[in-house]
Amino acid sequence: MIHIAVLGYGIVGSGVVQVLDKNSGRISQNAGQEIKIKYILDIREFDDCPYKSLFAKDFETIVNDPEIAVVVEAIGGIGAALEYTRRSLEAGKSVVTSNKELVAEYGSELLKLAMEKEVNYLFEASVGGGVPVIRPLAQCMTANIINEIYGILNGTTNYILTDMEKNGTDFSEALHEAQKKGYAESDPTADIEGHDACRKICILSSLAYGRHIFPRQVLTEGISGVTLKDIHYAAKLGYAIKLLGRSRAINDKVSVYVAPHLVSKHSLLAVIDGVMNAVVIRGNAVGNVVFCGAGAGKLPTASAVIADVIDAVKHLHARRWISWDECDAGLVVDSTLLDSAWYIRTDATRSKVEKEFGSVIFAGGTGNEAAFITGVMNGTMVGDLLSRGITVQSRFRVLGDY
């Protein structure tokens, strides 16, 4: 029998406890032995909770208990999560988490510590919720040079954009629904402004390119600038608007960014609706591989966390192929320079747009409004053209044909 501890009894922690209990027979069978929760760490009181007897308030009890082999960090954020992760690894315990903020900021340090202590630091649930993507990228695609990764990495914003597109719901109402369903981060700014997707593309890119890529190196734009008007114009042109995280290898450098994109209604990403996530990874041998499924939510996240727990139990002092090296400051290039077509909505007349941009595809607009798609150009060129007396209401990249 293996004893584990769950740190934090919020959405993720309580989901982990619930699924471990409900599927205990199958989980033990797959792990080769029984997995027993010995402690749940949370400072709050849960009087009616069926697991009340397992609650502990002091991390020292857990870290000093030699019986605890695996710690599930479900606290979230940095602070205590970082301290307890470091101390658990130092004490020779494997750590499993869905905490993308911590992995994106401290991944290389924590992976190095885990390696030194011959334990595992696993975070499958940190990207894509219940969708397996970390392990396939790190293991199944390891023979490839990764040329590109892009995808819908945030369930909350995809839920909001879908609701706006399909039902004409206004932004704040759709956000409220996503929060009620437990998809959003405690502070929804991280979802709305793209920080959550940024952390996830950092983790995937660090794995793919072998060097730690920090969120601060990544140009990040969220969905607060996407209006119902843009969604309407995009639809008229045959596109949906999706928030994408994207990284692309350019020679020996990488461009990484997060921004809303127009994606063709004929592409796979356009039909990934609601809380679903989808990630496309392009390897130079395998070509495009697509992963999709429930990207957020209590039980999908618990599913991925527990798979990592089982993996850790089966490899208590072995198997550390999920890793990357420290940051190389010169690796990440300015993503503004990446070429693409652009969707632009302005308050300029059509003739002014044509004068500055040449031939474009108009979506519509009358009088002092024009929405259109440009030819291929980089962000600096778009900025230069727009500085010639055209006021921009919205501008988003158009994802190329894949």
Please, what is the minimum distance in Å from the beta carbon of residue 122 to ligand HSE?
16
The stretch among 26-34, 184-192, 207-215, 264-272 that binds ligand HSE (CB under 6 A) is 184-192
Mark residue 163 as left, alpha or beta (left: phi above 0; alpha: psi -120 to 50; beta: remaining).
alpha
What type of residue sits at position 264?
S
Q: How far is the CB of 106 from ligand HSE (least distance, A)?
A: 17
Rank residues 298 and 345 by Cβ distance to ligand HSE and give the closer one. 298
How far apart CA 213 and CA 326 sit, in angstroms, is: 8
Among 129, 194, 245, 260, binds ligand HSE (CB under 6 A): 129
| By the rule CB under 6 A, 155 interacts with ligand HSE | yes
In this structure, the dihedral spanned by the alpha carbons of residues 305, 311, 314 and 315, taken in order and rounded to 10 degrees, is -120
Among 154-162, 202-210, 215-223, 391-399, the segment contacting ligand HSE (CB under 6 A): 154-162
Name the minimum Å distance from CB 130 to ligand HSE: 10
Q: Verify binding: residue 295, ligand HSE, rule CB under 6 A.
A: yes
**Cβ-contact 398, 238 below 8 angstroms:** no
Closer of 40 and 275 to ligand HSE (Cβ): 275
Instruction: Determine which residue in the list 84, 150, 183, 209 makes contact with ligand HSE, applying CB under 6 A.
Output: 183
- Comparing CA positions, the residue from 212, 208, 8, 4 lying closest to residue 111 is 212
Name the nearest CA neighbour of 156 among 179, 136, 133.
179
Burial 302-328 (b: 16+ CB within 10 A, else e): bbbbbbbbbbbbeebeeeeebbbeeee
* Residue number, 185 or 308, with CB nearest to ligand HSE: 185
Give the nearest distance from C-beta 197 to ligand HSE in angstroms: 8
- Indicate whether 156 belongs to the interface with ligand HSE (CB under 6 A): yes
Does residue number 124 form part of the binding site for ligand HSE (CB under 6 A)?
no
Of 35, 263, 296, 310, the one binding ligand HSE (CB under 6 A) is 296
CA 123 to chain centre: 12
Taking the C-alpha atoms of 384, 389, 394 and 395 in order, what is their torsion angle to the nearest 10 degrees? -20
* 188-211: burial string, b at 16+ Cβ within 10 Å, e else: bebbbbbbbbbbbbbbbbbbbbeb
Q: Is 14 a binder of ligand HSE (CB under 6 A)?
A: no
CB of 279 to ligand HSE, least distance (A): 12
Q: Is 191 in the site for ligand HSE (CB under 6 A)?
A: yes
Number of residues that bind ligand HSE (CB under 6 A): 11
Q: What is the 3-state secondary structure (H, E, C) of 3-28?
A: EEEEECCCHHHHHHHHHHHHCHHHHH
The rounded Cα 126 to chain-centroid distance in angstroms is 7
Q: Partners of 261 in the beta sheet?
A: 242, 397
Active site (catalytic) residues: 200
Q: How far apart are CA 34 and CA 313, in angstroms?
A: 10
Q: Minimum distance between the CB of residue 300 and ligand HSE, rounded to whole angstroms? A: 9
Q: Is 184 among the residues that bind ligand HSE (CB under 6 A)?
A: yes
User: For ligand HSE, which stretch binds (CB under 6 A), given 23-31, 33-41, 89-97, 178-186?
Assistant: 178-186
> Is residue 202 within the footprint of ligand HSE (CB under 6 A)?
no
Q: Interface with ligand HSE by CB under 6 A: which residues?
A: 129, 154-156, 183-185, 191, 196, 295-296
